Chains A and B, each alone.
Chain A
Amino acid sequence: MRRFRILLFLGLAALLAVGCATVDVSEKEDFTKPCMGFDKDRPSQGFVKHAYLVQEQADGGDGGEGGGCGCR
């Protein structure tokens, strides 16, 4: 539990540390490229997440979770 609290604190500290960064609109070209964007936003990710859930106890941590699956 102590390690969890330390990780939680480090996570929150990281959020606060980066909160004031700014990037000009003219510098955002990289973020429009097809190779950018997080893994969880891909159309195929739902089924892959489901495959993990069948095998693993841990879930969540990626922006919400579905309910009603007989594998849980």
Chain B
Amino acid sequence: MRLPLMLFGFLALGAGVQAAGNDFAQVQAGAGYNFYNSSDGVTVNSPEANVSATLDQRTTLTLSYGLDAVSAASFNYDQSKTHEHGSGDHQVGSCQDCHSPVDALSGASLNYYEQRQFFTLGAEQRLGEGKAKVSWYHSGEHDYRGEAVHVSWSQDLAGRDTNLTADVAHTSDWVSSSIDPAFGAGRYSDQASLALTQLLDPHSEMRALLDYASNTGYLGDPYAFVACLACNQASVNGSTDPEENPVPNKVPSLRDRWDLGLGYKRAFPGDSALEASYRFYHDNWGVQAHTIALSWAAQISTRWGEWVLEPEYRYYTQTRADFFRNIYATDQAYMTRDLKLAEYSSHWLGVDFRGPVTDLLSAEFRYGHYLRMDNLDYSYYFGDGPVNADTLQFVLTLQ
């Protein structure tokens, strides 16, 4: 109950300052509600709100706040599937006899509920045809804390036909574990990108971006384990079954990644537009990924004004990390069965509907369905197959 009140508080704050009506500030406020539910039993309710004030036409200050309320309720010890391994056919509810208390990557976890809170403070200053931005981001949950600083410079060129934006960021995170109070490790990232947006003709524009990041420190997951046939691991319940003798995952402490992104948007007669984009991703863990996205935006006249209906489709495919395995025969320098590091592809289908409600208020509704496809042997995981997920969003903006 406190959250809806808080979100409406942000909107009321924006409306209040605006109603004060002076030349000091132009205020914009927004509030949104996001919902995520996946077939592996994870549900996220995520309200968020933001307010920004533009001072003297050149300086803008922003504040945003969000909350992820995460719960996982299936594939847990009480409801997970029966399966046969090692010492016989195991029954529903008996998982805790063998498996570690939490195994994030195989889907074995106790019912849990946790919250992540995050907020951003930002400032933006216009200088001629240029714009400088700086922001600080904080995220906190019971076993993870993160900070990030972003600095960017955006410059309009050639009569605003061209925009060039350079962005650098540094993140510093701290990872801990609720199953091992003694565990704590740092994780760091330095990132730089260069983006160019260019009008091609009176009806189309393109965007290109190069992005590099270096991630260092503890890049693993304290809740992730792998199955290993001949690792020197203490036996649980006297069993020789590798699933019952999990070994903590091990990943390199350095990950360098490169992205190349290209986007194209074209207006068509009848107030509609096509957007197409492509991204190539490469990292030094051996993962290469291709992403293609297409959307078609059509303006629709409603009693409230011009709304936009935009169906969207996205295809993603990646190779596996060099060291990914479902199960390991012997101890290796790096071992993981993180499903994010497997070879797979996915489809995303969505629809977005947005537009004005009044002269000052606009709204956006968005739904998306995510469907993963792979050829993994899911007998090593608690899930019955590749995950699929749904997202539902509602955003209000007051300006």
Contact = CB atoms under 8 A, between A and B. Distances in A.
Interface string B260-281: 1111010100011101010111
B60 interface: no
B213 interface: yes
A8 to B, nearest CB: 6
Interface of A is mostly: loop
Contacts of A51: 36, 368, 370, 389, 391
A15 B195 CA distance: 10
B202 A61 contact: no
B209 A63 contact: yes
A46 B64 CA distance: 12
A55 B188 CA distance: 21
Given A38-B207, A55-B372, A69 B391 contact: no
Contacts of B167: 63-64
Contacts of A36: 205, 265, 267, 273, 297
Question: In this complex, which of A51, A60, A67 has the most chain B Cβ atoms within 10 angstroms of its Cβ?
Answer: A67
Interface in B112-127: 116, 118
Interface stretch (B76-84, B94-102, B156-164): B156-164
Interface of B is mostly: strand
Interface stretch (B18-26, B140-148, B375-383): B140-148
B143 A70 contact: yes
Interface in B310-342: 310, 312, 316, 318, 321, 340-341
Interface residues of A, number: 50
Contact of B258 (A4, A21, A43, A63): A4
Question: In this complex, which of B137, B199, B277 has the most chain A Cβ atoms within 10 angstroms of its Cβ?
Answer: B199
Nearest to A34: B308
Contact of B147 (A4, A30, A67): A67
Contacts of B391: 47-48, 51
B137 A57 contact: no
B354 interface: yes
A28 B201 CA distance: 9
Interface in B336-375: 340-341, 346, 348, 350, 352, 354-355, 364, 366, 368, 370, 372
B54 interface: no
B155 interface: no
B393 interface: yes
B370 A55 contact: yes
Nearest to B273: A35
Contacts of A27: 202
Nearest to A8: B260
16 contacts: A14-B206, A15-B198, A31-B199, A34-B308, A43-B30, A44-B364, A44-B393, A48-B350, A52-B316, A57-B281, A58-B259, A63-B195, A67-B139, A67-B173, A68-B146, A69-B144
